[in-house]
Structure 1
Amino acid sequence: MTEARRRNVHLVVLVASLAAAGLAVVLVRRAASLAAGRSVLETGPPAAEALLLAVVALMLLAVAVFRPERLRMRGLKQTTAAWTLTLVVGILGLWQVVHREFELDALHGTTVTSAAEADAFLAAHPPPNAPGYRIPTGLFLQQFEFLSGDNVLVSGYVWQRYADAIPAEIERAVVFPESIDTEVFEEAYRSDLGDALLIRWYFEVTLRQVFDYTRYPLDRQDVWFRLWSPSADLGAVLVPDFASYEEIDPAALPGIERDIVSGSWTPYLSGFSYNLHSNSTRFGQVDTPFRHQAPELYFNLDIKRDYRGPLLKHLPFTLAIAGLLFGIMLLGTSDPDLRSRFGFQTLAVIATTGALLLTVVVEHNGIRDTVSAGQVSYIEALPFTLYGLILLVTVNAIIRDRPDAPAFFDDRNNIW
């Protein structure tokens, strides 16, 4: 490349870096103005776009300053270091933006926040045996814990109010159909309110649900309670007990203990919703019609994970393995004197990388224990990258030891 052409390339790169920086500033100001309304769906994308443009601007600026196109070792090293630092800071910043701004914007099914909305939904999707007997139902959650990728243990209270007009054949009970283990479900309180009977139960149940871990550890989850009445075929219809909550706005976390024990999770939405379900069986009641698009009541808890815990667990391990691999690469040489001084042997390299591979596999299995089967999570990019690096270091050591190795592998003793 001629010197004139290099100057032209340098000028283009400099102009592009300034343009990217300018766009980044515009998007930052837009994100700041939108933040006044605190709309996660509007604020998040501009902030992320601004961060990405800032990263591009800094990378282009590094090219303009250090001039790697001259192919001088110092310029190449400085550009590589600047790019590495910029990308690391950019990734950390993007994680923070995603953690703060991007959230699930809806509960499971159709959210209802008032008696009027619940009545409108049930009018549009009438349950079997409508109008039936409406039973106000409420929940109060005190703690939850993920036992595995699909199972979550939840404890709290559920209550129902039965008007005196509800006949005795309507069973006074509530069912969690998606629970796989009920450790405790006992009546804690019963009171005659004059015109209704109030019953409150304490429960500790394990729910089994399908969660999305593709963005782990930046994931959001919706833990829901699907609520049934054992007397639904007799006309029992569950409705939210809005009157029992001081605030029903999902962002105010109705039905959630203020000091809920949630581990590494942070609740940010809760509330009631309805979802439609169809059953392909009559459950033995052959004289009744099939249930198609029947409304069912849900109570939801939307949570987001504190990503710092998983990253502090897995990122230092990844950096340590990558550092060891880099050290092995630096020791690689075809110079007999240097090989003797370093004790470099191809078989020793293979044995070392094999041991590192086993360690990475064990660490990867620990990640797989957290996520659901059949899903690949975002954080698994770390072990997959290490697999590739281990393979490349091993192949490099084998090829370098061959008598017909390309001259490329002898150039600067792996310091390319």
Structure 2
Amino acid sequence: MSIEKKVWLISGFVTLGLALVLFKLWIELNHFDEDPTQLPDQASVDAYLQDLPNLPSYQVKTGIFIKSFSFTGASDVHVSGYIWQHYEDGVHDAIKPAEGEVGFILPEAAEAASGLIEDAYRIDQGGSELIGWYFEQTLRQAFDYTSYPFDHKTVWVRFWPGEFDVNVALIPDFSAYPATGPNDIFGIDNRIVMGTWERENTYFDYRLSDLDTTLGIGKNEYQTNLPELHYNFVIKRNFANAFIVHMIPLIVVTMLLFGAVMTVTRRPNLVERHDFSTSSVIGTCSVLFFVILLAHVQLREGFAGSPVIYMESFFFLMYFLLLAVSVNTYFFAAEAVPSLWFIHYKDNLIPKACFWPFVLSCMVIITAYNLNLKDSPKDEVGIQVQN
């Protein structure tokens, strides 16, 4: 077996191995880890509240049902549905909302005045009253999408009690749902239109507030350590859509670039057959550069103001490849630097055979780095808009 065949055989095995590693990393990157703060039942809620420095004076059962949601901006989610609360006679009389009043606050409502919260029903249940409200609100949240298109997002509805001068804890109304376990999806319409997203999970949890103020209310120390009830629904981006829009063009351009590298030769019969010239390869790289640049600009417009995202890293890799192929072709044809033996060896064999292993090695490193970022602790995030 000739040296050329051995080199290409090694290149093929390395390329196949790296492709399998990349596929495995993509599966891990697309995996959603359950949030350990989930509250699946009343016992978990009681255990959480018992650990607070100030036990709440009142506990109000609160439930939610999402009828629709849509993304109206890079930081805005429009949500509509129903919220209800149970008020027991003789227990909640001091905090029970009157007709036209609301027993909760949605602190992340972007424009509360233009939103809608109205009475939907009041039902006497014998010893308690069930009050339900219909709401339509645009909620503003901090969004993280550095793992695009493998991002899983948690969209939440954050509750504050309607009273600030008493210690009230809103607790989930678990009895209103058929199942609230760690893997159950509840509180959201099964026929809701998800667009490019898929439902992964729903759950309640608490997060302590950090207002850094007593809101001017004397002896109101618990306002800086308030257990805020969150209803969360986790969604996963449909990878196929993003793959078709962004990844397939990158793969096609990479194959065309590899084809340009394979035309680099000094053998007379191949030069004539491939019509090889330095200017033709550099011209091909120039055309492909503008194709990649336009696709990159389109992607960047969807994530304006954000850090570099996972998919965007591949565009930077393509810029480097375009430059490397042009430089390799120039030095090979000019023979200006004989010391660069790896370029001239066996008719540019090493750069040709290393093309795919190098590309896939970079993709594996980029993916492994983003997987490490995903697994590292970070602040709570929500969802970004990208169709």
TM-score, normalised to structure 2, is: 0.74
User: How big is each residue's C-alpha offset from its partner over 1:36-78, in whole Å with a ceiling of 9 and x where there is no partner?
Assistant: xxxxxxxxxxxxxxxxxxxxxxxxxxxxxxxxxx761122223
Question: Using a 3 Å threshold, how does the CA distance of structure 1 residues 142 and 169 change in structure 2: closer, same or farther?
Answer: closer
Partners of 1:295 and 1:115 lie apart in 2 by 15
3-state SS in 1 of match to 2:81: strand
The answer on whether the counterparts of 1:150 and 1:372 sit within 8 Å (CA) in structure 2 is: no
Partners of 1:293 and 1:210 lie apart in 2 by 21
User: How big is each residue's C-alpha offset from its partner over 1:323-370, in whole Å with a ceiling of 9 and x where there is no partner?
Assistant: 221232233345789767756554554444234223323323444455
**Aligned-pair identity (%):** 31
Give the aligned CA root-mean-square deviation in angstroms: 3.3
1:106 and 2:35 matched:
yes
Partners of 2:230 and 2:323 lie apart in 1 by 49
One-letter amino acid of the structure 1 residue matched with residue 32 of structure 2: E
Structure 1: where are the runs of 5+ without partners?
A: 1-69
Q: 1:134 aligns with which of 59, 65, 68?
A: 59
Question: Using a 3 Å threshold, how does the CA distance of structure 1 residues 251 and 169 change in structure 2: closer, same or farther?
Answer: closer
User: How big is each residue's C-alpha offset from its partner over 1:90-115, in whole Å with a ceiling of 9 and x where there is no partner?
Assistant: 5335534654xx422216xx332323
3-state SS in 2 of match to 1:380: helix
Name the structure 1 match of 2:8: 77
Matches within 5 A, 1:156-235: 156-165=81-90, 166-167=93-94, 171-181=101-111, 184-187=115-118, 189-193=120-124, 194-235=126-167
Name the structure 2 match of 1:414: 348
Question: Using a 3 Å threshold, how does the CA distance of structure 1 residues 325 and 200 change in structure 2: closer, same or farther?
Answer: same
Name the structure 2 match of 1:326: 258
Partners of 1:299 and 1:216 lie apart in 2 by 24
Q: 2:49 aligns with which of 117, 122, 126?
A: 122
Deviation at 1:80, TM superposition (A): 2.0
3-state SS in 1 of match to 2:32: coil
TM-score, normalised to structure 1, is: 0.70
Partners of 1:311 and 1:393 lie apart in 2 by 25
The answer on whether the counterparts of 2:165 and 2:217 sit within 8 Å (CA) in structure 1 is: no
Deviation at 1:228, TM superposition (A): 0.9
Partners of 2:222 and 2:63 lie apart in 1 by 28
The answer on whether the counterparts of 1:278 and 1:292 sit within 8 Å (CA) in structure 2 is: yes
The answer on whether the counterparts of 2:153 and 2:235 sit within 8 Å (CA) in structure 1 is: yes
Question: Using a 3 Å threshold, how does the CA distance of structure 1 residues 294 and 186 change in structure 2: closer, same or farther?
Answer: closer
The answer on whether the counterparts of 1:140 and 1:157 sit within 8 Å (CA) in structure 2 is: yes
Question: Using a 3 Å threshold, how does the CA distance of structure 1 residues 315 and 294 change in structure 2: closer, same or farther?
Answer: same
Q: 2:187 aligns with which of 233, 241, 255?
A: 255
Structure 2: where are the runs of 5+ without partners?
A: 351-387
One-letter amino acid of the structure 2 residue matched with residue 247 of structure 1: A
Count of aligned pairs: 341
Question: Using a 3 Å threshold, how does the CA distance of structure 1 residues 343 and 233 change in structure 2: closer, same or farther?
Answer: farther
Question: Using a 3 Å threshold, how does the CA distance of structure 1 residues 250 and 167 change in structure 2: closer, same or farther?
Answer: same
The answer on whether the counterparts of 2:157 and 2:231 sit within 8 Å (CA) in structure 1 is: yes
The answer on whether the counterparts of 2:213 and 2:224 sit within 8 Å (CA) in structure 1 is: no
Partners of 1:262 and 1:181 lie apart in 2 by 24
Partners of 2:141 and 2:2 lie apart in 1 by 56
Q: 1:92 aligns with which of 20, 23, 26?
A: 23
Matches within 5 A, 1:254-403: 254-285=186-217, 288-289=220-221, 291-333=223-265, 344=276, 346-347=278-279, 349-369=281-301, 373-402=305-334
Question: Using a 3 Å threshold, how does the CA distance of structure 1 residues 288 and 174 change in structure 2: closer, same or farther?
Answer: closer
